[in-house]
Structure 1
């Protein structure tokens, strides 16, 4: 009887920290097995350091020992410290806004207006976020919106996954199908010596297909959860949240609440303006939201001490999720310190070069998809791979525009799936969604996007998408 009951126990998915430490360990073991190698880096367009594709040489092995394995975590923490503290500050800032009651009162107003047509919010908001991803590479900038959309989604009868997906999958679809993102398409085309933002017509069609696929997937899922909340993977946890609206006792939207909400809207407006015109990044955005927290706390009559206390409460609730970003970074630390990152790059690119042109195009796409699990930065992946993929495309009779497209899809699709993506893990931390639950939910969409990407790369190759 005892053995039978044990056999019936379901397999428990390991904690995300356990999964990441296993991956780091595997990478460390590979530093003893795989030959070490390096590419020389040279200055490329815009002063960026890029790989010289003819410069690969094998070097002495630098295996990562047990202590190096353990050390990779604090090193990873240090390398992504600004992202970790960004999560703390943004999460704490929204906890202050939440404590004023403004979000609860404002969203209560929305629930009344949207009664009976709640799902219309999904395509409208997703398209807005997708345009941000397609035009100026909106990624980290989406994070402040996640707590708002999660609270709204739950209030409208959906779940936290729906709220986070509206933001992450919306911007992610736009990022993947970007038609003028300067950080991905712009950088890659510059390195490939293509006219900036050439192939716009084809990319607009790609964008439309990607956002339609993502929106449809989430729209259908949200309908199922609305009909039967128990179908949500977050059903039990969402019931324990302290940031959920109670629609039976909605707060009145006071003048103070309106001012706080105006402060939030003004902050988001300044964020977009600063990112576009001044190139603001993590530190500037963190400072902006800290200012929002201070003003909101005072306007919302929390007082200085109340503002500080709620800031701390918000930060402490995100500690586990914020620190996972550093654990994920440890993977890259081990690969770089073991000098096998460039070896992986060289091996995969060499295999692709021997394929027929149509298979070479798909091989480039697969290579870029795999590379993104290791180098999740869009501009970073372009700087690493395009100096190799552009001349390789010439050798195997694939247009450089197709090679850029393969990079674009490979770089974008897994950004809201892979735990090495810093901003994505930060987003899950803000939404308080475990990675394993998110991964189980979104995997079908990721696979459909991969299939769509393969079809589009094949079409681009067949039509010899140019100009060259």
Structure 2
């Protein structure tokens, strides 16, 4: 089976290097702190991602001089543009703040390294092909429905890094392109996250801010999800043309050893979901789960402990680029927070909404969230920062809290399909060995279609009093 391309395989001439892209995003963020005035809202607590208090924005003096080029902290009651030195210093800070997620991703890579070496993955893929006879009209809808359901109902995103190499291997075994395998996972996950029918990641934070019950209004979001997912399925099937000689379709039964390893993988995925929903597990517990699963797979495969450790380390190496990109994505947020310009951006845009029709205000809120998503890919941080300000402004224009949350979800989900500042998207691409510019060309038309449909959905939401 082909190795995952997280270490740089399959690069093509003219491909955009993801690390250079993140460095460019960081440099642009630093530049913004020199151009945009600084200001801040009061917050309900001292926590970094605590919700802001609407109507409390105040400008901060930001003297700019030669001293600003050097790193340093602003005096109390003032702001300071971010020093260009932060292009280096913010990376370790971003890595530190993302450490739990990074360790989880590395452990996931290690577990996958062990699993891949056993041949169970090849056997499982061959069995799946045999059962479906390789028919795309069966495989694609079933797989995308399953992946998207995990995303829209449970908020799963980073967990799908595990499945990207699997789907790429499946696509190549069927003679299809790597992009096809990647799209099956990524489009399904992104559409699911966009709708967030019951996703706790977004709704547990966003809905209480505007005083609506958590998970309420799911019927309309469910309709959006099913519509958008059907479009994404058709879009993925467009990429299902044969580009190489498919492997022979053989319906071979799994050996007891391969079956045991695949059952361990399935149990691991089930525990991810149960642990997250029932016991509040987070990245730390997920890391421990992947370590345990890797040990169990090593035992089930009859691999010596020392060899199993070597395979685990090799698998971790394949995820190093993905881990670095996630830390660099967080570094962009670190820079913008240090320059204290995020509140200014929200306040400036919010002031332009007053007096407009609610049918126009709802899509504008979505567009504001799309801009913010380029700057802050984190869903929870963006909800705490923007909804307390945009919610009351939307309400004054006649937009309900439920529709404001929907605008937030759609804006956040749409841009995270393409955002070059999204460390998770770049981690997905790194795991697949697909250049960003190639993904952009592939996904941009779908992004345009879903954006127009999202605007229409928000207008309908206002008209029906959602």
- Pair 1:141-2:143 in alignment: no
Question: Is contact 1:76-1:327 (8 Å) kept?
Answer: yes
Structure 1 residue 303: Cα displacement: 0.9
From 133, 144, 152, the counterpart of 1:126: 144
What SS does the corresponding residue of 2:175 show, helix, strand or coil?
coil
Structure 1 residue aligned with 2:24: 22
RMSD: 2.6
Contact 2:153 2:198 in 1 (8 A): yes
5+ long unaligned stretches in structure 2 = 1-11, 63-79
Correspondence for 2:232 among 214, 223, 227: 214
1:361 aligns with 2:362: yes
Q: Could you tell me which residue of structure 1 aligns to residue 398 of structure 2? A: 397
Distance, in Å, in 1 between the alignment partners of 2:215 and 2:317 is 43
Structure with the higher helix share, 1 or 2: 1
Give matches, 1:71-86, under 5 Å. Answer: 71-86=89-104
What TM-score, normalized to structure 1? 0.87
Number of equivalent positions: 438
- In 2, are the aligned partners of 1:180 and 1:186 still within 8 Å (CA)? no
Alignment of 1:35-434 (within 5 A): 35-43=37-45, 49-61=50-62, 62-222=80-240, 224=241, 226=242, 228-229=243-244, 253-434=254-435
Name structure 1 gaps, 5 residues minimum: 1-9, 231-244
- The SS at the match of 2:51 is strand
Q: In structure 2, what is the Cα distance between the partners aligned to 1:191 and 1:310?
A: 46
Q: Distance in 1 between matches of 2:13 and 2:120?
A: 42
Q: Deviations over 1:61-87 (max 9, x none)?
A: 211122123212222222212222222
Q: CA deviation at 1:142?
A: 2.5
Contact 2:164 2:181 in 1 (8 A): yes
8 Å CA contact retained: 1:83, 1:422: no
Give, in angstroms, the shift of residue 453 of structure 1: 0.6
Shift of 1:345: 1.7
Whole-angstrom CA distance in 2 between matches of 1:281 and 1:186? 15
The answer as to whether partners of 1:328 and 1:419 remain within 8 angstroms in 2 is no
Greater shift after overlay, 73-82 or 452-461? 73-82
Q: Secondary structure at the match of 1:327?
A: helix
Whether the 8 Å contact between 2:115 and 2:297 is mirrored in structure 1 is yes
Show CA shifts across 1:386-430 (max 9, x none). Answer: 111221012222222221211110122222322433433333333
Q: Distance in 1 between matches of 2:160 and 2:14?
A: 31
Structure 1: distance between partners of 2:153 and 2:256:
36
The 1:159/1:92 distance shift into structure 2, 3 A limit, reads: farther
> How far is the alpha carbon of 1:54 from its aligned partner?
1.0
Structure 1 residues 85 and 366 mapped into 2: Cα distance closer, same or farther (>3 Å)?
same
Aligned counterpart, 1:237: none
Moved over 4 A (4+): 245-252
Q: Hey, what's the Cα distance between the residues in 2 that align with 1:251 and 1:314?
A: 27
Question: Using a 3 Å threshold, how does the CA distance of structure 1 residues 311 and 348 change in structure 2: closer, same or farther?
Answer: same
1:31 to 17, 33, 37: 33
Q: Does the Cα contact within 8 Å between 1:91 and 1:430 map onto a contact in 2? A: no
What displacement does 1:344 show? Answer: 1.4
Distance 2:252 2:298 in 1: 18
Alpha carbons of 1:256 and 1:198: their partners in 2 closer, same or farther (altered >3 Å)?
Answer: closer
Aligned-pair CA distance for 1:308: 1.3
Contact 2:131–2:251 (CA<8 Å) still a contact in 1? no
Q: How far did 1:337 drift? A: 0.9
